[in-house]
Amino acid sequence: MSRYAMLLAPSANRVYADQASRMSQAELAAFAPVLSGELDEIGLAVIGGVEYVTFTAALSARDVAYLSNLSSAYALFELLDGDLLRPVTMTALAQYDSDLITIPKYAGKTNEQFTKLVLNLTLLASASAEKMLDGHLTVLDPLCGRGTTLNQALMYGYDAVGVEIDGKDVEAYKLFLQTWLKRKRLKHTAELVPMRRQGRRAARRLEVTMAASKDDHKAGAVQKLTVLEADTTQLDGLIRGNFADVLVTDLPYGVAHGSYDDNGGISRRPLDLLERAVPEWLPLLRPGGAIGLSWNTKVARRELAEDILLAAGLELVEHAPLAHRVDQGIERDVVVARKTS
């Protein structure tokens, strides 16, 4: 067993950075099921005036590859003779340049480190956890906005499917992704096409194929991205079932996103949306798939969100507390649940 120290990456969001060490300890513990041995003594240490997340483990090369994807990981060291640091080479999943995630700036964008954290927790809770490093997985975000979760899935080399009710967000995401792919000179196709249900136009669909290199494209090793411009509570007939390994999304914080209510207006109440949407979402998940949700606890109590998931037949997955402040009006939390059959 060796003692390790992980240096956390700085965050552009000061409020999130203040809570990153606590969040990272909870995320680190969630990696335990896929590692070859136990993680012990997870904590914090100040070395040379700098704070590190520390832990004890016997890490294999594959273990290091898993931990290289910790959302806030910047550098990993083995601790020698008390406070001497020996660098450990990290091998994070990164199919594309990080500006795929960091360039987009818009009101309501979720912190990209937090997005990666929720995706990691959900992957690790699913039946696909051991395929995280080398499997061709599919991530679904049924409230995808302008694609932060989708972009993180692409960074990991996965396929991604999103649903977004706001056509302007879908068009903005298409414009960004096409511009980015052209600037990076990556082979791709992108098309926004109408969809029909029972002979009537029901939605638009953005279809993108892309590859991380010319050699990958030539070999047919392409990734597929699909975004439906549709109401996430009315997906029947628009998308095939049993395709997603994980579902990761932000519920409405009470200020953005939503779905049409029974009167034809937009509802932004997260629990109302969750109750209406879960029956539409579950058939899209494969058995053993997992759902990871974040939301504003100031407008929706945690136990009520959990009750909706339990009533749908999902199994809650325990993890260390991740509730944290975003701003004066938002206290964010995370819940993860697994589809058992």
Sheet with 84-88, strands from edge to edge, namely: 40-47, 50-57, 2-8, 73-80, 84-88
Q: Are residues 220 and 316 in the same domain?
A: yes
Q: Do 121 and 233 sit in the same domain of this protein? A: yes
The one-letter amino acid code at 189 reads T
Residue 183 shares a structural domain with residue 295: yes
Same domain, 281 and 305: yes
Residues 142 and 72 in one domain: no
DSSP state letters, 106-141: -TTPPPHHHHHHHHHHHHHHSTTGGGTTT---EEEE
- Whether residues 115 and 47 fall in one domain: no
Which residues, including other chains, have CB under 8 Å from residue 220's CB and lie 6 or more apart? none
> Are 109 and 138 contained in the same domain?
yes
The answer on 188 and 228 residing in a single domain is yes
Find, among 71, 158, 72, the residue nearest to 121 by Cα: 71
Q: Provide the residue-wise pLDDT of the chain in tens; the chain has 341 residues.
A: 899 999 998 865 566 777 888 999 999 999 999 999 999 999 999 999 999 999 999 999 999 999 999 999 999 999 998 789 999 999 999 999 999 998 887 776 778 899 999 999 999 999 999 999 987 899 999 999 999 999 999 999 999 999 999 999 999 999 999 999 999 999 999 998 888 776 677 788 999 999 999 998 888 889 999 999 999 999 988 898 999 999 999 998 764 444 445 555 555 589 999 999 999 999 999 999 999 999 999 889 999 999 999 999 999 999 988 988 887 778 899 999 999 98
Claim to verify: residue 192 and residue 256 sit in the same structural domain: yes
Calculate the CA 126 to chain-centre distance: 13
Distance between CA 230 and CA 164 in Å, rounded?
6
Instruction: Note whether 188 and 220 are same-domain residues.
Output: yes
In a domain, 268, yes or no: yes
Backbone angles phi, psi at 3, to 5 degrees: -100, 135
Q: How far apart are CA 251 and CA 273, in angstroms?
A: 8
Domain for residue 94, yes or no?
Answer: no
Regarding whether 108 and 65 lie in a shared domain, the answer is no
* Distance, CA of 290 to CA of 132 (rounded, Å): 13
Q: What's the CATH number where 153 sits?
A: 3.40.50.150
Asked whether residue 61 is domain-assigned, the answer is yes
Give the residue numbers spanning the domain of 50: 2-88
Q: Which two tokens stand for residue 257?
A: 């996103």
Closest CA to 28 of 73, 95, 89: 73
Q: What are residue 139's DSSP bridge partners?
A: 160, 246
Residue 18 lies in a domain: yes
Provide the number of structural domains found in the chain. Answer: 2
Residues 42 and 122 in one domain: no
| Domain edge (last residue) among 53, 88, 123 | 88
Q: Locate the DSSP E strands across the chain.
A: 2-8, 40-47, 50-57, 73-80, 84-88, 138-141, 159-164, 188-197, 200-210, 223-229, 244-250, 259-260, 266-267, 285-296, 315-317, 324-327, 330-338
Residue 203 lies in a domain: yes
Residue at which a domain ends, from 88, 120, 141? 88
Looking at 57, 88, 119, the residue that finishes a domain is 88
Residue keyed to tokens 């060490």: 21
93, part of any domain: no
